[in-house]
Chains A and B, each alone.
Chain A
Amino acid sequence: MAEATAPKPSSSVKLVLLGEAASSLVLRFVNNDFQENKEPTIGAAFLTQKCNLPTRTIKFEIWDTAGQERFASLAPMYYRNAQSALVVYDLTKPTSLIKAKHWVAELQRQASPGIVIALVGNKLDLTNETSGSSNAIGEDGDEAAEPEDDGDARKVSTAEAKTYAEEEGLLFFETSAKNGTNVTEVFTAIANAIPETSLKGARGPGATQSNANRAEDQSRVNLTGPRDNASKEGCAC
């Protein structure tokens, strides 16, 4: 999309990640990396990543939270003041969407009013659907996936999740952190959905950086484990 040629307004957006298989999604977004044996998130991890929109730059301050159920009572510490939330479920686990729904309900009641919530089914690569991105967000992608057939690990149908997301007014995506399908799209959609008026804390004009030195900025704040600064494209938009 549009390259940042002139200084655009830049603003910070606090985003909280809740649910299962979430860290990998952020890692893909922030470092364009995937680790099979990613350590569990203890408490929470904090990362940042920028997202260039045509008219402005959004700096995501991402709070990645632990997925185990008992960590849930810590979550309010992290979703406090969040303008956006990414509720991730593992589409190969039937219970995962149920947990995600609880998070959505919790956010709708307890988080800041007007919070932008995206529901994301991750691990799309484990399904045997061919083209990753088209069937995930397609407006008429209501094809109920059959979990039975040949090696498809999918346990949550697109239709079910999508219907739910529509009822609740959530953005909805199916992604793969492993092969990168739809990952940046999620964040771009969130960035676009944040109302202009709620944007604040611009770090001054000209804060845009080239992709190369951005990466360094991104990964150094991940406290929970040493990561190599793979200098890859962070946000494709």
Chain B
Amino acid sequence: MFNLSSLVQKAQSFIDPTQALNISASDRNPAKSTLFRHQFRLPDSQTPLQEITAELTITPPVAYSPNATQGEKDKDRDRGYHYAGKLHLSESYLCFSTQPTSFLQTASTSTSSGFTGQTHGAGPGGNGFTLPLCAIRRVERLHSQSYQFALSITTWNGLSNHTNHESSKVPILQQKITIQLAGTRQACERFCDGLKKGLKSGVGEVGKLKRVVSECYSEYLLQGEGRKENRSKMRLWGEYLRDYGRNVTLIRQPTFHKLIRVGLPNRLRGEIWEQTSGSLFLRLESPTLYADTLAKFEGRDSLAIDEIEKDLNRSLPEYPGFQSEEGIGRLRRVLTAYSWINEEVGYCQAMNIVVAALLIYMSESQAFFLLSTLCDRLLPGYYSTTMYGTLLDQRVFESLVEKTMPILWDHLVKSDVQLSVVSLPWFLSLYINSMPLVFAFRVLDVFFLEGPKVLFQVGLAILRINGEELLDAPDDGAFISVLKSYFSKLDESAHPKSENAKLRAVTRFQELMVVAFKEFAGITQSSITEQRMKHKDNVLNSIESFAKRTSIRNLGPDSKRLSVDELGALYDRFYTVLYERQQRSQIILEETERRAKASRARATEVVNGLAENQIIEKGRVGLGPSPTLMDYDGFREFLAGIARWAITDSPSPPEKENAADRQNHSYFGNSVRRRETSLSPWGYGNPEPANHEFMQRLFQRWDVDMNSALTLQNVVTGLAHIKGKDNIMGSITYFFELYDDDGDGKVDREGILRISEALLFLSRRGLEGSLTPSSSMTGLSEYEAGNGGQLDPLQGSTNERFLSSVSAFIRRCFEYADPDHPQNQEDDASATNGHADSNAFGIGEDSDDEDEDLLDLGTEASPKKNKNFTGLGGGPPASGGPDSKSLGQRSASKAQSEAANAALDPSKPLHITLPTFRMVVLADELLEQFFESSFPASFRISDKMTTPGPSSSGSSLTTFSNIGFGRQNPPQNGIVSAGAAGGVVPPSKGLRGVLDNIVTDGMRVAAEVKRRMDEAQKEMEKNAVNKPDEDEDEDEAYDNPRTPGGERRSNVRSEDRDLLEGADAEAMSMRGQEGVVSEIKGNTLSPTAAIDAGRSRSVSGASQKIVEFEQ
């Protein structure tokens, strides 16, 4: 595993410059462009355009001599250093490294198929350079016998505008490198063409470059303007920078790596940090971003700013620079600016310490970009709101300790010592407040060049060096104090008693560095990545379970009405929906882009190397800020997961998507399967949610903050009010309020119709709770088994009964409604009288009788009923006779019928109040049960319904498509295509089937409402006019159940016919409910229609008819 050293040159054998890691799913297979950027520490804007094997030759610079002969030039090339490696070209950079990359050259930018895992993107390791194209002054193609393609590159280095050629005492040294390309002629030509293009577009950037490097001390150091330090370290660096380039033009060679290990001179520290970490390239990309950000957000407030303010005085308090207002101001500005450009991270304690340390050696702008590089790449997830990166790396560190120092690890476990209490600050604040600053900076020097693995190596070395003493430490206290005293003696000799003076001179810190990088050379970016992948899930899970606990606890008093299990399940469901929706929209977005791209020219392919995989896991709670708001579509999906009425009956046909995908086979090859399955907006295998007005009302009701979005709190409160209401009155009130739009305690005619629609919508898959225990349970089990076969007769009857109940509900609502206008005072009075006469308390009893009747009728009728329906064709929509009968009984009072008559008159607006609504509901046992148990129970929070998780939802999709809600299934086994086990009305063929389809789209309600109105009016008309004889004709018509709809309708009054035709037509085409409902109100409720229709029927006749009809 730790065999990297065999792969690279000896000079760098113990260097595995590493990269940051994103712990996304893509980590095992990172995109090539990501690896490329990490390898060369380039901004995200860069993608690998070209790469070619090449040999780099570096000659010590010579005084510029344009007249050098070809022979001299060749000789130059023979001198100097030669490195074999790969030359890469991106949009604005030319990069060379001897370090093998992790990606195959053949891999395309956005895919990871070519991931070799070697260095996992490494870092600016190996020997080579990362050269902005704008820093190249000239490229010459050399023609010589030995090299087909050799490029001589001259940089701006040495020709900067700081120097006047004539007057400068220092000889003008020109930086020149030679690169020989190795490849086919064609490949070399292609590379050179690309380079030419890049150079052209880089010309405009030269000014920017000069401005940026002017902040680098090296510019002044070499121009003799800076004070030269006499120390040998500075001299060595000065020579190196002179010979091999400085800042952007710096070429990494073995000496460079060594010099860094030895420690940077203070003056150069800042610029080498930004060069090796790559933050220099970020700054080059947008030199004014820091100042712009500060200007843009000046005067604005944020939580992060409050948090920053609290810590400003508490950053490196022992360092005098940060006790002054000036120093604190610098710190404030850098932290604040960063909190604005990365609001997800904002500010995390420890950033103050790190930035304070950076500011000792850097300008504010430099520190700002370096902080950005730290957060995004070097310390991924460390400072995030969940700090998952910190926790993960602690876990990784522990596992590395266990691996490399098993005895010590055993001791820690046995004595229950919490390692992270010491090691966590090492990582989080980069050793800055753990060891004396001078030494912490030395660690940082290497860290920025070699990457995060350095933190691990140093940490392991600390434990290794102190191993003996730590083994004697019995508890946390002793453990910590051993380390503390070690850190305080880092400057002392590591071998104070040695005879050997040289050995005696070795400090403990030097020893630490040697142990870290020699003994733990095997700790590479790859091995760390591997460990991170291994522990990632555990860490995220524990963060998420903590977040869940906290979040549930904070849900407020309403949540107490739900059980802890229910809250947990709600939490999961809520965030699963949000998370999955985000994933899906991401995938769909990518797919769209992919398609768009595929249809565009190939040439643009590179533009969006899009780090798609990096985003893929975003939204996971453990990773930090994730969506917390659920929009209406999310809410629908959420409901579909907990309530089966919220699943649509007419899912959009999947064929379309498949077809679309099939067309794209050629583009996407193997990936098609995945795409195909994920393209549905509701996710593969998830049931498509319904979109009923009731759901919109529920959403609005729950959206108490009027955000058009729900928080978990909203959802919990909303559900707590439905499920947590043990009393039926609460449920009824809740429902009523849903439809009392203006909150005036009244629901008008429209509202009554909508309520009844909602009741049918909610019950169309059967009722839950304990209605008729056997039936509802059967319905459920069939439903869950996806049993599209036979319909339980009992179930059918319950459903039919509910239908009747709803129709009775409408009728009663109108019967007992109050008129709206004062001029109807009289009517109002008489209605109230009617109320009193018929005895409000008696209604319950009435309905009891009625239900008994119903039950009898139901059991009698149902065995044959379905068969009848099957062959029925155009029979009247449903049975409702018993209600009519009881209505007849009850509506005998004249006063009452007058009141009801008035109620039906659309010219006289009416409404029901909550007491009326309550009374009407309680008048019907089924409705009562609905509100008491089945409505609250229809929200199944903790017991699985369709198990909406992606894992098991595949089967539920099958179930739904098999059930074929909203479609016409052919009859099975010659009986009835009952399909909708648990449905109110089984779909079957003929008009009945058509009607069922109507119902599924809300049309059934309209038809039902219409029919009820029709009946009610007839009843009343009958009472008023009382012409029993005409019943006989009607009976005949009804007696012929097989009469097709059209003929059947010939017996209906013309107004009604129009209506029915209208309804049918709409059912077939528009499927809109609004139109029909209003039509009903317009036509059916007109007084003439009521009178005409009413004349034709009698009470007894009506109920009898039904029985006959059902036989």
Contacts and interface: CB of A to CB of B under 8 A. Distances in A.
A189 interface: no
A212 interface: no
Interface in A74-90: 74, 76-78, 81
A109 B568 CA distance: 15
A39 B307 contact: no
B401 to A, nearest CB: 16
B488 interface: yes
Contacts of A12: 475
A40 B311 contact: yes
B550 A102 contact: yes
Interface in B307-341: 307, 311, 313-318
Interface stretch (A1-9, A60-68, A134-142): A60-68
B476 A74 contact: no
A81 B385 contact: no
Interface residues of A, number: 40
A70 B421 contact: no
B554 interface: yes
Given A37-B313, A68-B349, A43 B384 contact: no
A55 interface: no
Given A38-B314, A42-B353, A68-B349, A61 B429 contact: no
Contact of B349 (A37, A66, A110): A66
Contact of B475 (A61, A223, A225, A226): A61
Nearest to B350: A42
A68 B348 contact: yes
Contact of A221 (B313, B348, B477, B550): B477
A40 B418 contact: no
A77 B476 contact: no
A48 B424 CA distance: 20
Nearest to A75: B546
Contacts of A48: 477
Interface stretch (B73-81, B479-487, B602-610): B479-487
B11 interface: no
Nearest to A42: B425
A110 B434 CA distance: 31
B553 A105 contact: yes
A39 B418 CA distance: 22
Contacts of A74: 387, 390-391, 424
A102 to B, nearest CB: 6
Interface residues of B, number: 48
B539 to A, nearest CB: 10
B428 A43 contact: yes
Contacts of A40: 311, 314, 349-350, 352
B481 A44 contact: no
B785 interface: no
Contact of B424 (A43, A105, A106, A220): A43
A61 B421 contact: no
A230 interface: no
B620 to A, nearest CB: 14
Nearest to A68: B349
A163 interface: no
Nearest to B315: A39
Contacts, number: 108
A72 B348 CA distance: 12
Contacts of B550: 72, 102, 106
B113 interface: no
A37 B424 CA distance: 22
B549 interface: yes
A81 B420 contact: no
A78 B421 contact: yes
B416 interface: yes
B422 interface: yes
B565 to A, nearest CB: 14
A126 to B, nearest CB: 15
Contacts of B543: 73
A230 to B, nearest CB: 17
B553 A42 contact: no
Contacts of B559: none
A36 to B, nearest CB: 8
B1025 interface: no
Contact of B420 (A43, A105, A226): A43
B547 interface: yes
Contacts of A222: 484
B386 interface: yes
B553 A44 contact: no
B387 A42 contact: no
Contacts of A226: 318, 488
A105 B341 CA distance: 35
B433 interface: yes
Interface string B348-373: 11101100000000000000000000
A46 interface: yes
A211 interface: no
A155 to B, nearest CB: 15
A76 B394 CA distance: 14
B436 to A, nearest CB: 9
Nearest to A36: B313
B432 to A, nearest CB: 10
B349 A44 contact: no
A76 B485 contact: no
Interface in B289-318: 307, 311, 313-318
Given A39-B433, A106-B553, A46 B477 contact: yes
B649 to A, nearest CB: 43
A226 B549 CA distance: 36
Interface in B710-744: none
B403 to A, nearest CB: 21
A85 to B, nearest CB: 16
Contact of A81 (B353, B416, B542): B416
Contacts of A69: 385
Contact of B549 (A45, A77, A106): A106
A42 B428 contact: yes
A234 to B, nearest CB: 15
A69 B546 CA distance: 13
Nearest to B476: A46
A220 B484 contact: yes
Contacts of B553: 102, 105-106, 109
Interface centre among A42, A44, A72, A81 (most CB of B within 10 A): A42
Interface centre among A37, A70, A72 (most CB of B within 10 A): A70
A105 B416 CA distance: 26
Given A43-B421, A43-B424, A74-B387, A223 B434 contact: yes
A209 interface: no
Interface string B77-95: 0000000000000000000
A105 B349 CA distance: 24
A46 B349 contact: no
Interface string B382-417: 001111001100000000000000000000000010
Given A68-B307, A223-B480, A77 B418 contact: yes
Contacts of B425: 42-43, 223-224
Contacts of A73: 386-387, 391, 543, 546-547
24 contacts: A35-B317, A38-B314, A39-B433, A40-B311, A40-B350, A42-B349, A42-B429, A43-B421, A43-B425, A46-B476, A48-B477, A66-B349, A70-B386, A71-B387, A73-B546, A73-B547, A74-B391, A76-B546, A106-B553, A109-B549, A220-B481, A221-B480, A223-B480, A226-B488
Interface of B: 307, 311, 313-318, 348-350, 352-353, 384-387, 390-391, 416, 418, 420-422, 424-425, 428-429, 433-434, 475-478, 480-481, 483-485, 488, 542-543, 546-547, 549-550, 553-554
Leading 7 A-B pairs by shortest Cβ distance: A43-B424, A42-B425, A40-B349, A37-B317, A221-B480, A37-B313, A221-B481
Given A37-B314, A78-B418, A109-B553, 19 more contacts: A36-B313, A38-B317, A39-B314, A39-B317, A40-B352, A41-B349, A42-B424, A43-B425, A43-B428, A45-B421, A61-B477, A66-B349, A68-B349, A73-B543, A77-B420, A81-B416, A221-B481, A223-B483, A224-B425
